[in-house]
């Protein structure tokens, strides 16, 4: 397994978790986890880690609040535990992905995050009734805007501010952006213009085609990124930059990976259950602020994409902009390409219509994002100006989400 895998999430997040999980193996003179002391340190670090405690705590909170309507203070506590469980779930997915390698590592990460996103969407749709018919669309569109403008803009701004110029591979970033634009258009724009069903929704056959097309495009992208053209997604070497030891961290042991797999399952169960408990409070909180119901999708997207945002910013500060773009565009593609097919299957059992078509304002923002994104990635380098442009686009999206 190469130490510099250009995967969507794995490569960058590895440095975040290496010290915590490998317990002294990183930079340990070459012996690392092969020695008994390293394994003991690893075991202690896992047992004492917050990522180990939070899934268990979340499960306890779920058992204590299931079937109840928690008061305000308890609802806030549940929300914090839910956010922590999401972070812990993504962390353990990263560990498992690092152990199994590519291309299966990317699939583990994408499936874990998709389960969280779909669980939040379906839970709120079941409890919210007809008013949540657009929740899937709102969440997926928010995820696309946050990744393609927020994460990309923040990474470019941080990288260019520290190193003067943000440098990356135009081939890989351009291919990723083209795939995101295609999947987003087929899943979110076309329903507005089809005539088989009234309103911005697909007919069953159209929805099935869009779901299959999304899966095919996602699979083709993963194959290209991890097998056929991995070099397109590797960071561009920067003069005078020395990789940190964390970039070459050894894979977690089978024991650590097994523990993370079990904790990942616990965290996912807790997230799904706590989303059910917290759904009335989320909707009530959005309504109390005077925001439209569609803003619930923005809240879900912000929660799910928090780990990717942190990882991308850290990569940019280490002059590894390609990793930041892999995280941003890969997350956007996974959010659309895996969530839409899963929601399409869930719609068989969900009551009411599934409205996926974007409105005029949203389509303008999406089109502008694609155009600006293309102009950003084609040269293979960017300045702080491009970062500011993307962040202003995100600010415009958030402002119009509150004041449509």
Q: Yes or no: say if 311 and 12 are a contact pair by the CB < 8 Å rule.
A: yes
- Cα gap 212→200, rounded to integer Å: 19
Cα 224 off chain centre by: 19
Total residue count of the chain as it appears in this document: 404
Of 271, 297, 351, 346, nearest in space to 136 by CA: 297
- Cα gap 55→35, rounded to integer Å: 29
- Cα gap 150→381, rounded to integer Å: 18
Q: Give me the phi and psi of 23, to 5 degrees please.
A: 50, 55
Q: Yes or no: say if 226 and 8 are a contact pair by the CB < 8 Å rule.
A: no
How crowded is residue 137: how many other Cβ atoms within 10 Å of its Cβ?
Answer: 26
Task: Return the structure tokens found at 257.
Answer: 């990976």
- Cα gap 354→200, rounded to integer Å: 9
> CATH homologous superfamily for 10-402?
NCX, central ion-binding region (1.20.1420.30)
How crowded is residue 325: how many other Cβ atoms within 10 Å of its Cβ?
Answer: 32
- Cα gap 281→263, rounded to integer Å: 26
Q: Yes or no: say if 187 and 336 are a contact pair by the CB < 8 Å rule.
A: yes
Quote the pLDDT of residue 396.
95
Instruction: Please spell the DSSP secondary structure of 210-255, one letter per residue.
Output: HHHHHHHHHHHHHHIIIII-GGGGSPPP-TT----GGGGPPPPPHH
Euclidean distance between the first and final Cα of the chain, in Å? 48
- Cα gap 403→108, rounded to integer Å: 37
- List per-residue pLDDT tens for the chain, 404 residues long: 443 334 444 444 433 333 333 333 333 333 333 333 444 454 445 445 878 888 889 889 888 888 777 787 888 888 888 888 888 887 887 788 778 765 566 567 667 777 777 877 877 777 666 777 888 899 999 999 999 999 999 999 999 998 888 888 888 889 999 999 999 999 999 999 998 888 788 998 999 999 999 999 988 988 888 777 878 887 776 554 444 444 445 778 888 888 888 888 888 888 878 877 877 787 788 888 888 888 888 988 887 888 778 878 888 998 888 888 888 888 888 888 888 888 888 888 877 788 899 999 999 999 999 999 999 999 988 999 999 999 999 999 999 999 88
Q: Give me the phi and psi of 240, to 5 degrees please.
A: 80, 5
Quote the pLDDT of residue 24.
32
Q: Yes or no: say if 226 and 102 are a contact pair by the CB < 8 Å rule.
A: yes
Of 392, 104, 121, nearest in space to 261 by CA: 104
- Cα gap 197→53, rounded to integer Å: 48
- Cα gap 153→361, rounded to integer Å: 21
- Cα gap 156→375, rounded to integer Å: 13
Residue 279 CA neighbour count, 13 Å, CB half: 21
Of 119, 88, 116, nearest in space to 13 by CA: 88
Q: What's this model's pTM, rounded to 2 decimal places?
A: 0.78
Of 364, 400, 366, nearest in space to 291 by CA: 400
Helix or strand or coil: residue 38? helix
- Cα gap 189→33, rounded to integer Å: 50
Per the omega criterion (within 30 degrees of 0), is the bond before 15 cis?
no
251: left (phi over 0), alpha (psi -120 to 50) or beta: beta
Task: Classify burial at 374, counting beta carbons within 10 Å of its beta carbon; exposed 0-12, middle 13-18, buried 19 or more.
Answer: middle
H or E element at residue 148: none
């Amino acid at each position: 397994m190469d130490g510099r895998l250009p995967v969507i999430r794995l490569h960058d997040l590895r440095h975040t978790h290496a010290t915590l999980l490998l317990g002294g193996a990183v930079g340990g003179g070459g012996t690392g986890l092969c020695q008994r002391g390293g394994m003991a340190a690893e075991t202690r670090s896992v047992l004492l880690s917050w990522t180990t405690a939070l899934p268990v705590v979340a499960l306890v909170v779920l058992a204590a609040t299931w079937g109840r309507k928690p008061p305000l203070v308890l609802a806030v506590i549940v929300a914090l535990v839910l956010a922590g469980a999401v972070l812990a779930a993504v962390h353990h997915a990263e560990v498992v992905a690092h152990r199994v390698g590519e291309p299966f590592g990317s699939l583990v990460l994408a499936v874990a995050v998709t389960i969280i996103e779909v669980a939040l969407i379906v839970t709120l749709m079941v409890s919210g009734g007809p008013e949540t018919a657009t929740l899937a669309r709102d969440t997926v569109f928010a995820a696309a805007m946050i990744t393609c403008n927020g994460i990309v803009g923040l990474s470019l701004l941080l990288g260019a501010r520290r190193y003067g110029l943000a440098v990356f591979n135009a081939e890989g970033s351009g291919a990723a952006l083209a795939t995101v634009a295609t999947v987003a258009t087929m899943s979110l724009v076309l329903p507005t213009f089809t005539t088989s069903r009234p309103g911005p929704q697909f007919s069953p056959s159209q929805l099935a085609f869009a779901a299959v097309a999304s899966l095919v495009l996602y699979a083709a992208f993963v194959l290209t990124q991890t097998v056929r053209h991995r070099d397109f997604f590797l960071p561009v070497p920067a003069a005078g930059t020395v990789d940190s030891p964390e970039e070459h961290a050894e894979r977690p042991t089978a024991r650590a990976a097994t523990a993370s797999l079990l904790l990942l399952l616990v965290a996912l169960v807790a997230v799904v259950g706590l989303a059910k408990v917290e759904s009335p409070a989320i909707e009530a909180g959005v309504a109390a602020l005077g925001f439209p119901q569609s803003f619930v999708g923005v809240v879900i997207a912000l929660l799910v994409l928090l780990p990717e945002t942190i990882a991308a910013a850290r990569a940019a500060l280490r002059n590894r902009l390609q990793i930041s773009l892999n995280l941003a565009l890969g997350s956007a593609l996974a959010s659309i390409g895996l969530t839409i097919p899963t929601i399409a299957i869930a719609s068989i059992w969900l009551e009411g219509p599934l409205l996926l078509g974007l409105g005029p304002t949203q389509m303008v923002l999406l089109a502008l994002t694609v155009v600006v994104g293309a102009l950003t990635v084609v040269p293979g380098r960017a300045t702080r100006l491009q970062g500011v442009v993307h962040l202003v686009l995100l600010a415009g999206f958030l402002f119009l989400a509150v004041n449509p």
